Amino acid sequence: MSLIEIDNLSVTFRAKGRLVHAVEGVSFRVEERESYGLVGESGSGKSTILRAICGLAPVTGGTIRINGQPIPSSRGAGFAAQVQMVFQDPYASLHPRHTIDRTLSEPLAIHGIPGSDARVVQALVDVGLPPGFRFRYPHQLSGGQRQRVAIARALMLQPKILLLDEPTSALDASVQAEVLNLLNRLRAERGLTFLMVSHDLSVIDHMCDRILVMQHGKAVEELARADLAAARMTTAYARSLFEASADRMLAAP
Amino acid sequence: MSLLDVRNLRVTFDTETGPVQAVRGVSFSLGRERLGIVGESGSGKTMTGRAVLRLIRPPGRIEADAMTFDGQDLMRASERDMRALRGKRIGMIMQDPKFSLNPVMTVGRQLTEGLRLRDGLGRADAAAKALAALQAVQIRDPERVMDAYPHELSGGMGQRVMIAMMLIPEPDLLIADEPTSALDVTVQAEVLTILDTLVRDRNMSLIFISHDLRLVARFCDRVLVMYKGRIVEEVAAGKLLDAQHPYTRGLLNCLPRIGGPREPLPGLDRTGAWAE
Amino acid sequence: MTTLRAWLSDPNPASRRQARLGQLWLAMLRIRRNRLAMAGLIIVALLLVVAALAPWIAPHDPFVQNLSNRLKPPGTPGHWLGTDDFGRDILSRIIFGARITLYIIALVAVTAPVLGLLVGTVSGYFGGWIDAVLMRLTDIFLAFPRLILALALVAVLGPGIENAVLAIALTAWPPYARIARAETLTVRNSDYIAAIRLQGASAPRIIAGHVVPMCLPSVIIRVTLDMAGVILIAAGLGFLGLGVQPPLPEWGLMISSGRKFLFEQWWVSTMPGLAIFLVSLGFNLLGDGLRDVLDPRSASR
């Protein structure tokens, strides 16, 4: 039994009077402790799948199962303790008027977990931030530092599954490297399962074991990492995506 | 003979907590070539591009020992002289067409506005020139695009419109500030090819500002690497892999590669004296 | 002083209080750069000081009548702004009137915006039929002209300062509800709201702790700009005899009672009128300055 089972998922919603089929009949499985990547361009529906899992987008067809259990329609405290998400834009995912301390201690307060003082400091240390940042506001931190706070926040409730929505696309290259290294280290240390979304094939290749290529809301091709590296993709779209990014790699050492 | 000559450019912002230096003494000269300026956020690359066009408003100030374009002193030019330069002789393409195109004017109106107000062309002549410009950026049905509003266009299309708009007055120098960063990866390749052809055909000089070192190296002749307001290295594009400066080497190595090793990516060692 | 400054500008605050005070200090620095806003701030501060120290700075008792001293012009020694038709010193009455003005403003400022915030955030956050019902309720109250409502209340409850305040507050809250609702609709789709929902937060916690702080800047700015209007309405009610009753030195009432002498003894009405003008101007300037400082766009980046 896989940890995450997505069967024939469809997400359709109304925008400006028209029906938008953001996700159409997508199925995949994520095993425990695996890192699974969803890759595609804008409009491919990859972020919508994550939002559907979290209850932020309506599921109009198919099922989502976590640990064999279908997700309850209102995601309560139990869900929060299993699945958490790191959002794309570090400038928008932290409340601008809350200190870092408040942002990190709030999940503990909601779930009645004691000892928030020590846990907040430990969380900062775990993501490589100095404990002195505890009472800063988000606008006093750089993009990379904010993203670390977002990761720390996601891990406060010690979930098993981490959903990552383009976690480094808004960051500089050198900062991206640090954050990706941090994510890999945390995954190894805590045995986490990652479901990661990105438009950047090289980032997905570095972080994930298996990859699903998506286009216009549909699943195009599933690849193992070795297949991607050896360019053994079978569909034309997956190949065009590969060429457009591998192109950059030609100059690399 | 250089087209643009910049000596010791400094851009400072007077905030309520004290002056903040965005650009700290940048010098370069540009001939009929393509120059790439690469840096991360906060490196001052965008401010450098804007300073050349004197587009920085208070509380920002521009200071330089010299800044000349084709013999004309940009530091001492009046605002009226600068307006004559902007667009006509120096053009600028910005990152996101969602924000750089006027959302309440049709594309056709935006393209012809400059022609009619600045060059005094009649409506029919201006429309013909605009259509020709749209065809030059390989837009299949230019008439439909002329009547469309910016939000009705895709990202790649919008950026092509932006390029067309900037190329109509046939400037000598084009400053492109992250022109493809907001686009999907397959569209990026298309737009860059179009830009490449146009710049070459019209024999324009290009300043290409980006955070993507490899992209710039493929596209430009020479690359300036900036960090915290200073130029840390200047290198010919073909010799990028032999770059000596620790920051440049760090930037080259820290990107993940398809098929690369699974070890932690090398980070940037910011402890050198150059990181001040 | 420098240690206080260092404490406030410490990049790594050691407590929530230090962090908040540090931000407040930065906001003060930003207001300082705007001269007109500083002027507004000074006028409002002056109002507070005058009201607080009234018994000590007023040269005469505002209620004592001295019929032999009636209608003396400004500049009379001992009565710098002149006397009214009962021989009472106008300057002292204006000073004590500041207390009444402040009382009215304070009461309205703590009732109307709070009610408006509550209605607006709940309406914007939940949407659907809750939004529809609350907004129709808001529309009903928005449709009432203030003075008519005040007349109705006075007819039922009798004249007096509390009823005047009630009337003003009941008609002042709808704009705040609309502002709060508009901000809530923008904020509702942010990633940080999505994040806290994902952590299992309840709706009251989200609205009170996450949505309201984002609505506060717009509401605060609107409150300061509305203060001028509130003062004028209270003055209008006083003028009509519906609000504060004589012999209390409310500014509007003073203008009304000087009506009879407007042409020969102009100072009886004009002096309190100038006071109203000055305080309204002060609040307007302050409100404009606050908009520059509290604009979330400039604060969050």
Q: What is the CATH number of the domain that holds C293?
A: 1.10.3720.10
Question: Average of pLDDT values for B97-105?
Answer: 86
Q: What per-residue confidence (pLDDT) applies to B152?
A: 86
Q: How confident is the model at residue B26 (pLDDT cuts 50, 70, 90)?
A: very high
Give the residue from B143, B141, B155, B156 showing the smallest Cα distance to B106.
B143
| % pLDDT > 90, chain C | 33
Do the beta carbons of residue A134 and residue A100 sit within 8 Å? yes
The alpha-carbon gap from B160 to the nearest alpha carbon of chain C, in Å, equals: 30
Query: For the ranges A60-64, A115-119, A145-149, C143-147, which has the lowest average pLDDT?
Result: C143-147
Q: Which residues of B touch C32 (CB under 8 A)?
A: 16
Q: Which amino acid is at A228?
A: L
Helices H / strands E in chain C, number of each: 14, 0
Q: How confident is the model at residue A99 (pLDDT cuts 50, 70, 90)?
A: very high
Q: How confident is the model at residue C214 (pLDDT cuts 50, 70, 90)?
A: very high
Domain count within chain C: 1
Q: In this complex, is the C-beta atom of A246 within 8 Å of any C-beta atom belonging to chain B?
A: yes
DSSP A206-249: HH-SEEEEEETTEEEEEEEHHHHHTT---SHHHHHHHHHHHHHH
DSSP A26-56: EEEEE-TT-EEEEE--TTSSHHHHHHHHHTS
Q: Cα(B253)–Cα(B108) distance, rounded to whole angstroms? A: 44
Record: contact C299-A87, CB cut-off 8 A: no
Query: For the ranges B18-32, B149-163, C285-299, which has the lowest average pLDDT?
Result: C285-299
Record: contact C200-A84, CB cut-off 8 A: no
Record: contact A174-B40, CB cut-off 8 A: yes
Which of C:5-64 have CB within 8 Å of B? 9, 26, 29-30, 32-33
Of C16, C201, C299, nearest to A135 by CB-CB distance is C16
Record: contact B16-C33, CB cut-off 8 A: yes
Over residues B184-206, the pLDDT tens digits come to 887 888 888 888 888 888 889 99
Do the beta carbons of residue A152 and residue A118 sit within 8 Å? no
Q: How confident is the model at residue C242 (pLDDT cuts 50, 70, 90)?
A: confident
Q: What per-residue confidence (pLDDT) applies to A246?
A: 63
Q: What per-residue confidence (pLDDT) applies to A248?
A: 58
* Mean pLDDT score of chain B: 87
Model confidence at A205: pLDDT above 70: yes
Q: Give phi and psi for B55, each to the nearest 5.
A: -100, 15
Q: What per-residue confidence (pLDDT) applies to C296?
A: 47
3-state DSSP assignment of residue B30: strand
Cα→Cα distances B254→A143, A166, A180, B103, C98, Å: 17, 18, 11, 38, 66
Over residues A63-91, the pLDDT tens digits come to 999 988 888 877 778 888 999 999 998 88
**Domains, chain A, ranges and CATH?**
35-55+71-249 (3.40.50.300)
Closest chain B residue by Cα to residue C5: B17
Model confidence at C135: pLDDT above 90: yes
* Mean pLDDT score of chain C: 86
Judge whether C80 lies within some domain: no
Record: contact B16-C9, CB cut-off 8 A: no
Q: What per-residue confidence (pLDDT) applies to B222?
A: 92
Q: What is the DSSP letter of C207?
A: I
Q: What angle do CA A142, C24, C12 make, to 5 degrees?
A: 40
Q: In this complex, is the C-beta atom of A242 within 8 Å of any C-beta atom belonging to chain B?
A: yes
Q: Which amino acid is at C221?
A: I
Judge whether C255 lies within some domain: yes
Judge whether C49 lies within some domain: yes
Of A172, A174, A202, nearest to B258 by CB-CB distance is A202
Model confidence at C297: pLDDT above 50: no
Domain of C179 in residue numbering reads as 32-59+87-299
Q: In this complex, is the C-beta atom of B244 within 8 Å of any C-beta atom belonging to chain C?
A: no
Q: How confident is the model at residue C295 (pLDDT cuts 50, 70, 90)?
A: low
Question: Average of pLDDT values for C162-186?
Answer: 89
Q: Cα(B12)–Cα(B17) distance, rounded to whole angstroms? A: 13
Q: Which of B258, B265, B270, B271 to mutate to test the interface with A (most CBs of A within 10 A)?
A: B258
Judge whether B177 lies within some domain: yes
Sheet strands (E) in B139-265: 173-177, 205-210, 222-227, 230-236
Tokens of A186: 């945390």
Q: In this complex, is the C-beta atom of A91 within 8 Å of any C-beta atom belonging to chain C?
A: yes
Over residues C245-286, the pLDDT tens digits come to 888 888 888 888 888 888 888 888 899 889 989 998 998 888
Name the neighbours of B, counting chains with at least 3 Cβ pairs within 8 A. A, C
CATH at B141: 3.40.50.300
Q: Give phi and psi for B156, each to the nearest 5.
A: -65, -40
Judge whether B85 lies within some domain: yes
Q: What per-residue confidence (pLDDT) applies to C253?
A: 83
Radius of gyration (C-alpha) of chain B in whole angstroms:
20
Q: What angle do CA A122, A126, A132 make, to 5 degrees?
A: 60
Q: In this complex, is the C-beta atom of A220 within 8 Å of any C-beta atom belonging to chain B?
A: no
Q: What is the DSSP letter of C89?
A: B
Q: What per-residue confidence (pLDDT) applies to A250?
A: 47
Judge whether C27 lies within some domain: no
Record: contact B184-A203, CB cut-off 8 A: no
Chain A, chain C: beta-carbon pairs less than 8 Å apart: 89
Record: contact B184-A228, CB cut-off 8 A: no
Residues 6+ apart with CB under 8 A from C214: A96, A97, C183, C187, C296
Of A41, A207, A246, nearest to B184 by CB-CB distance is A41
Over residues B251-261, the pLDDT tens digits come to 888 888 887 77
DSSP B108-142: HHHHHHHHHHHS---HHHHHHHHHHHHHHTT-S-H
Tokens of B128: 């013909």
Record: contact B256-A180, CB cut-off 8 A: yes
Q: What per-residue confidence (pLDDT) applies to C299?
A: 42
Q: What per-residue confidence (pLDDT) applies to B1?
A: 64
Q: What per-residue confidence (pLDDT) applies to C176?
A: 95
Model confidence at A156: pLDDT above 50: yes
Record: contact A174-B250, CB cut-off 8 A: yes
Judge whether C96 lies within some domain: yes
Question: Average of pLDDT values for B65-90?
Answer: 88
Judge whether B261 lies within some domain: no
Q: Which of A88, A95, A147 to mutate to test the interface with C (most CBs of C within 10 A)?
A: A95
Q: What per-residue confidence (pLDDT) applies to C58?
A: 87
3-state DSSP assignment of residue C76: strand
3-state DSSP assignment of residue B270: coil
Name the neighbours of C, counting chains with at least 3 Cβ pairs within 8 A. A, B
Q: How confident is the model at residue C159 (pLDDT cuts 50, 70, 90)?
A: confident
Do the beta carbons of residue A174 and residue A142 sit within 8 Å? no
**B50: alpha, beta or left, given left = phi > 0 and alpha = psi -120 to 50?**
alpha
Which of C:178-237 have CB within 8 Å of B? none
Tokens of B93: 């393409």
Over residues C195-208, the pLDDT tens digits come to 999 998 999 999 99
pLDDT, greater one: C93 or C163: C93
Domain count within chain B: 1
Judge whether C212 lies within some domain: yes
Model confidence at C239: pLDDT above 50: yes
Q: What residue has token string 């808004």?
A: A170
The DSSP H or E segment spanning C45 is helix C35-52
Record: contact B17-C33, CB cut-off 8 A: no
Q: How confident is the model at residue B139 (pLDDT cuts 50, 70, 90)?
A: confident
Domain of B28 in residue numbering reads as 4-239
Q: In this complex, is the C-beta atom of A132 within 8 Å of any C-beta atom belonging to chain C?
A: yes
The interaxial angle of helices C35-52 and C267-294, nearest 10 deg, is 130
Q: What per-residue confidence (pLDDT) applies to B8?
A: 93
Q: Which amino acid is at B273?
A: A
* Mean pLDDT score of chain A: 89
Judge whether B268 lies within some domain: no
Q: How confident is the model at residue C179 (pLDDT cuts 50, 70, 90)?
A: very high
Q: How confident is the model at residue A251 (pLDDT cuts 50, 70, 90)?
A: very low
Q: Cα(A172)–Cα(B254) distance, rounded to whole angstroms? A: 11
Q: Cα(C127)–Cα(B241) distance, rounded to whole angstroms? A: 57
Q: Which residues of C touch A98 (CB under 8 A)?
A: 210, 213
Q: What per-residue confidence (pLDDT) applies to B136?
A: 87
Record: contact A251-B268, CB cut-off 8 A: no
Model confidence at B262: pLDDT above 50: yes
Closest chain A residue by Cα to residue B241: A253
User: Peptide bond before C247: cis, by omega within 30 degrees of 0?
Assistant: yes
Q: What per-residue confidence (pLDDT) applies to C213?
A: 92
3-state DSSP assignment of residue C230: helix
Which of A:44-63 have CB within 8 Å of C? 51, 54-56
Q: What per-residue confidence (pLDDT) applies to B213?
A: 84
Question: Average of pLDDT values for A209-221?
Answer: 93
Record: contact A178-B267, CB cut-off 8 A: yes
Q: Which amino acid is at C171?
A: T
Strand order in the sheet with A69-70: A18-30, A4-15, A61-66, A69-70
